[in-house]
Amino acid sequence: MNLKKLTRKNVRELKPYQTARDEFKGLATIFLDANENPFPSAFNRYPDPHQSTLKKEIAAIKGVASKQLILGNGSDEIIDLLLRAFCDPGVDNVIIPQPTYGMYSVSAQINNIEIRQPLLNNNFQLNTESIFESIDSKTKLIFLCSPNNPSGNLLEREAIESILERFEGLVIIDEAYIDFSSEPGWLNALTIRPNLFIIQTLSKAWGLAGLRIGLGFGGEEVIQILSRIKPPYNINSASQKEVMNILDNPNAREKYIELNRVERAKMESRLASLPFVKRIFPSEANFLLIKVDNAMECYRHLIEDKIVVRDRSTLPLCENCLRVTIGTPEENSKIIESLLKFNTKKLP
């Protein structure tokens, strides 16, 4: 991978914004350099733009170096940074195998980047041939999601290996759901694969969706480029502080992951007993994609019972499919109860 060729010219030549704290790094007691309100309160000072303490802690937990990590205001910001760093609007293109998480396409459209969308196969696995056919000299990024949203499955390792091997741009693997999976994911391959970039998030297994913390892992030089263009204060002080507290206590997260595993298996077998459920796709995440005989009817019935799931019917390969998040044991019992009622209602 030729990183210089991959990076947009204006980004390569950019002189990044210097914050007050970037310009002065020594010890001082009086800070009159950032036009802050001088009277102490919890939030009168700007946050650390480099998030050094937080990054050190997260990097240690993930077994990578701080220099291989960038934090975003949610993963969504990291997706946007990747597009803005590497793709020239109106010139370059990205590959997004479908169906998958919608934000890659939306972000590419906002940035006016052409999207190429080869289909996954019937098991929601990569069709490497159609991906290779979509690549040309203007292809900068390939977005993969594993476990995939909305299908829930891990993408096969060999297929990803072959793409990493042959593609000269960045291969992005979104591992938002990796904590729920039985397999370890791709972080271990980071040092041997310079064109690998991994996205994770604290929004799912960590239970911190409201704090907006996305994690980007890549080679040191790729991380440097993204750091140059990120908004300086993209992670606010409250989030930086609160995350530190939660990282210190991993027990709640471990408990949730285990509960999800048990409840997911229970939901699979209960759903399988419903005649109108035609298929339950195997999941390594905290949701199940199910094919029913009439998704819209089923969705509306659930809404009448004040239960909301995601109707994914309009996505390719997802005809009559609903995506159901695994909830608390009580919530899961409630949705099954409601679906049993729906079943009876349907009987002539």
Ligand X SMILES: *Cc1c(COP(=O)(O)O)cnc(C)c1O
Distance from CA of residue 308 to its chain's centroid? 22
* Nearest alpha-carbon partner for 320 in 281, 348, 286, 287: 281
The residue among 172 and 223 lying less far from ligand X, judged by its C-beta, is 172
| Least distance to ligand X, CB of residue 191, Å | 23
| Least distance to ligand X, CB of residue 96, Å | 12
**What residue type is 325 in one-letter code?**
T
| Least distance to ligand X, CB of residue 199, Å | 7
Structure tokens at 120: 């996954």
Structure tokens at 200: 């994770």
| Least distance to ligand X, CB of residue 27, Å | 36
What per-residue string of b and e applies to 286-308 under the rule 16 or more CB within 10 Å gives b? bbbbbbbeebeebbebbeeeebe
Contact residues for ligand X (CB under 6 A)? 74-76, 101, 145, 149, 174, 176, 201, 203-204, 209, 214
Report d(CA 154, CA 146) in Å as an integer: 5
| Least distance to ligand X, CB of residue 41, Å | 28
In the sheet that holds 213-217, the strands lie side by side as 69-73, 213-217, 196-201, 170-174, 139-145, 93-95, 114-116
* H helix runs in 50-111, sequence order: 52-62, 75-86, 103-110
The residue among 7 and 284 lying less far from ligand X, judged by its C-beta, is 284
Report d(CA 285, CA 151) in Å as an integer: 9
Cβ neighbors of 73 (< 8 A, separation 6 or more) are 212, 213, 214, 231, 234, 235
The residue among 73 and 332 lying less far from ligand X, judged by its C-beta, is 73
The residue among 7 and 201 lying less far from ligand X, judged by its C-beta, is 201
The residue among 128 and 201 lying less far from ligand X, judged by its C-beta, is 201
| Least distance to ligand X, CB of residue 301, Å | 25
| Least distance to ligand X, CB of residue 149, Å | 4
Tally of CB atoms within 10 A around 153: 19
Helix (H, G, I), strand (E, B) or coil at 197: strand
The residue among 180 and 342 lying less far from ligand X, judged by its C-beta, is 180
The residue among 205 and 339 lying less far from ligand X, judged by its C-beta, is 205
